[in-house]
Structure 1
Amino acid sequence: MPVIVLEARDFSSPLFLVRTWEILSGCTTFSLAASLEPSELNKNASNLQHLHTFRIFCMFTWCFFFTLTLLIHILSVIQFHSLIPISWKNLTVTAAVLGALMCLSASVVFPWIIMDHQQVSPRPVAAAVASCITFLAYTSESYVLGTQALEQRGYMGSMPGLLKIIQLWGGCQMIPLLLETVSGPPNGVHTWQLVVSGVSYGACVLMSVVTLVVILGDFAGRCFLPFDRFLAGFSLIGVLLYMVATVICFSKILQLREQQSIPDKSGELVIMETVVACITMLAYSVDLAFAIKLLCDRSHL
């Protein structure tokens, strides 16, 4: 079949321009970060493990969303997305919002790992600035997509869909934080706390991925349970698991306060984990409220 390309006026549309902006800024960001030498990041040898873990996280974020945005952009230009067996409107909203959240995290984490009180090289600063510009680009696309009608945005553009994107984002943040806690120096955190936290975060990430696959693949009608009950059950489990994880995070803070010899970086990691856990638990709680309201409304019909 012939390939249909956008008309001339479509190349000046806000969506086309903002995706081009994302590709250019994303490519600039990971290119600058990949060219950095270890000595340009931080001269403090005690922070090398932190640099390794979180630099991988930042590089993965920039490279993954650059690749995903480039594919979406190409498919949009040649109008080939109708042949892909996924929900295109849900995919584009998910990529934009999740890209904005993940690039925001990278824009916070990357300056944190390059901090050096003696001297900071120009290239790490340029990479951090480029990451912030990339975050603004994805935020702009989220705004452009948010101005469309709900039918064009799909389920992921609604409030429950956005909450599920926040839940997935929270789980993605916990992976490097937990890996850093496990592989880092002893910090007084009990093994059972790490195991329970890891199980909680892993189960929630798995539920978020399953939900995303069902929505993007339009598999809701094939579920063995009604999809609204399916989502309500996942939200309830997420609330309970993150309540446990949040309690453990606060107990870690109390333990670190009692141990004055713990390095500052360990305390910062625990605080970051606690903040993200609270935000994610709030997202699950509000999502559960939406799910219960939907079930109640349908029961009265």
Structure 2
Amino acid sequence: MPVIVLEARDFSSPLFIVRTLEVLSCCTVFSLVASMSEDLNPSNFSTFRVFCMFTWCFFFVVTLFIHLLNTIQFHNLIRISWKNLTMTVAVMGALMSFSSSAVFPWMVMDHQKVSARAVAAAVISGLTTLAYASEFFVLRCQADEQKGYMGSTPGLLKILQLWGGVQMIPLVVFILRLSSGLHHWQLWLSCTSYGVCVLMSLVTLVVILGDFAGRCLLPFDKFLACFSLIGVLLYMTATVICLTKILQLNGQKNSQTDLVIMETVVSSVTLLAYTVDLAFAIKLLCDRSHM
């Protein structure tokens, strides 16, 4: 297949503009943060700084890759579901950028000496979130056959599930450092639940992006329903453990309290996503059984 470069009018399309803004804003924000180590909180929050930097750098590379492939129309030659990939990156980029925009000013910045570069980085991170959200709305307005599975409600719920699992990585790592007052079985049970759910989300994403649904040993709808049920059970367990941690803190106000509350909120949101996704999966199975 010949390589076709976009026409001049395509460079002014909404999709081209928002992806350009995403690349520029990601590049700007991680460059600012990398250059101001002396302005950041030096005490306990290096894990969250790494999380924020990884988010901006990762989505800069992925978005630039998608932008270049779409510009030269080379994406037709790769064996990936392009419509599902672009929707996944747009939604996940918006969610992850939103997380970084909240975590960076709250935990990473040194509020004793806030510099202009730190404020600029926080603002540009928020603009990055808006850029990815704008790409999602542009893709969402396309025809149903162009949005793919990830543009449907069950697909968006699966992206939300993956986001929730990824958020738990820096939280669990940091809480493990401060776990002197908590039972270790609670921590390891939570870690196991989050790890299994992240693995299931990644497997589902690979199957969808690679168009491997027809090659699964089980029918794909039963495959997804099974994963959703396991996710509900595991996150239900993790949420109960999070509530137990809050009770064990006995109203004490410290850095660990904020982290446990954050873990409880993210765990509850992810549990809700798995529950709604399970309801969609059961409805789909029931509809097909009556056909």
Q: Do they fold alike, i.e. is TM over 0.5? A: yes
- Determine the structure 2 residue equivalent to 1:131: 125
Equivalent residue for 2:175? 181
Q: Describe how 1:149-168 pairs up with structure 2 within 5 A.
A: 149-168=143-162
Gaps of 5+ in 2: none
RMSD value over aligned CA atoms? 1.2
TM-score of the superposition, structure 1-length normalised? 0.94
Q: In the alignment, residue 233 of structure 2 is paired with which amino acid?
A: L
Q: Name the structure 2 match of 1:247.
A: 240
Q: Does 1:105 align with 2:99?
A: yes
Shift of 1:2: 3.7
Structure 1 residues without counterparts, runs of 5 or longer: none
Match for residue 272 of structure 1?
262
Question: Would the aligned equivalents of 1:3 and 1:78 in 2 still touch at CA under 8 Å?
Answer: yes
Cα distance, 1:41 vs structure 2: 1.0
Deviations 1:216-258 (A, max 9, x none): 0000000000000000000000000000000000000000126
Does the residue aligned with 1:49 lie in a helix, a strand or coil?
Answer: coil
Distance 1:117 1:77 in 2: 42
Matched, 1:297 2:287: yes
The match for 1:5 is 5
Counterpart CA distance in 2 for 1:298 and 1:186 is 48
Deviation string 1:23-50 (CA, Å, 9 cap, x unpaired) is 111110110011112x3112xx6xx232
Preserved contact between residue 225 and residue 281 of structure 2 (Cα < 8 Å): yes
Instruction: Work out the CA distance in 2 between the residues paired with 1:233 and 1:244.
Output: 17
- Amino acid of the residue matched to residue 268 of structure 2? C
For each residue in 1:132-171, what CA deviation from the matched residue of structure 2 results, as whole angstroms up to 9, or x when unmatched? Answer: 0101100000010011111101000000000000000000
**Aligned-pair distance for 1:274?**
0.2
CA contact (8 A) 2:39 2:110 kept: no
Query: Identity of counterpart residues, as a percentage?
Result: 70
Paired residue for 1:172?
166
Tell me by how many angstroms 1:116 deviates.
Answer: 4.2
Alignment of 1:16-95 (within 5 A): 16-37=16-37, 39-42=38-41, 48-50=43-45, 52-95=46-89
Cα separation, 2, equivalents of 1:219 and 1:253:
42
Compute the displacement of 1:186 (Å): 3.9
One-letter code of the match for 1:36? M
Count of residues in Structure 1 that have an aligned counterpart in Structure 2: 291
